[in-house]
Amino acid sequence: MTLVDGRRFVIAMALVGWSANAHAQSAEAEALFRDARVLIQRGQLAAGCEKFAASAELEPSVGTLLNLGDCREKLGKLASAWAAFRKAESMSKRSGGDGRREAEARRRATALEPRLSHLVVAVPTGLAHLVVRRDDEVIESAVWNTPVPIDPGSYTISAEAPGYLPWRRTIEIDAKAGLQTVQLPALDPRPIASVPLPIALPEPPRTTYVTTRRARTWSATRELSVGLGIAGAAAVGTGVYFGVRSNELRARADASCPAATCSDAGALHDNARAQTDATRANILYAAGGAGVATALVLWLVGAPSDETSVRPMFGDHQAGMSLTGSF
């Protein structure tokens, strides 16, 4: 592959090769670095740049940063290339004894500076909790109102704060060196939701009440008394049945065994059944009598009210009648 500015690329690669003995990278970073060189040799400059960037992120090294800056410069990302060269220069200076690569990184960064584009995001002060972003990246408040090198391309500048409407604007940064400013306006407060006024309802039509009377017999209490009376009568009737059967069994037992002592099993069985039926009859007599007595009391005290209200109703476009009372 024929590379633009091949002389500088050869110098950078020579410096990287010389540094391999001075600093060994991690296995992952080294593998990414070698893949990047193979991709660039095949002419896949963008893919090679991504590999160099991944290697530098895992373990930054001067050689990787020099190669990253070189390929980004060839892609036209001058601000990113300048940042990579400056970082390589700083690392070389801190490590010491690597003057050649430090000088090369400084030379490359200095040569790019006149060609850089800069962006200033001008932010008014006084708004609390304001968040400013360039695309999805938050711009720290320390960087506000400061010219920052930026690669050519399209960017969306946005701002938001609690209680205010968000703001955004898309800008284009061209490859020509220059300074571009984006001025954030004062954010508009969010409108307060209005509360609708209550709707006045029309007055209901006037109603004339006419009271009439009619005699009635039934009420809920008297209906209950009738039910209790029927149940009580049924209990008494059942008691009569068991009483009659008890007498019949007792008479049959006495006929089979008239003496005071008896060994007849049939007579003894009839006598036991007679006693059981007699007990049942007595219980039913008592329950039935109580039911009938209660029913009588409820019938007397449960006389219904005989007042009923008949209410004619008139409106603007209607007429009718309602009937109310105790039933």
Over residues 255-293, the pLDDT tens digits come to 777 766 777 777 778 788 888 988 988 998 888 888 888
Q: Which residue has the higher pLDDT, 133 or 249?
A: 133
What's this model's pTM, rounded to 2 decimal places? 0.52
Burial of 7 (0-12, 13-18, 19+ CB in 10 A): exposed
State whether the Cα torsion 97-111-62-37 is positive or negative.
negative
- Contact present, 73 and 81 (Cβ < 8 Å): yes
User: What is the average per-residue pLDDT within 13-23?
Assistant: 41
Query: Hey, what are 56's tokens?
Result: 């530098």
Lowest pLDDT segment from 94-108, 120-134, 153-167, 223-237: 223-237
Query: Hey, what are 113's tokens?
Result: 């500076």
HSE (side-chain half, CA atoms, 13 Å) at 269: 3
3-state secondary structure 7-37: HHHHHHHHHHHHHCCCCCCCHHHHHHHHHHH
User: What is the average per-residue pLDDT within 64-92?
Assistant: 94
Query: Hey, what are 223's tokens?
Result: 């209906």
Domain boundaries, the chain: 6-115, 117-183, 219-303
Determine the topology of domain 6-115 in CATH. 1.25.40
Lowest pLDDT segment from 31-40, 63-72, 143-152, 234-243: 234-243
Lowest pLDDT segment from 136-140, 255-259, 305-309: 305-309
State whether the Cα torsion 295-300-302-308 is positive or negative.
positive
Taking the C-alpha atoms of residue 66 and residue 83, their distance in angstroms, rounded to an integer, is 10
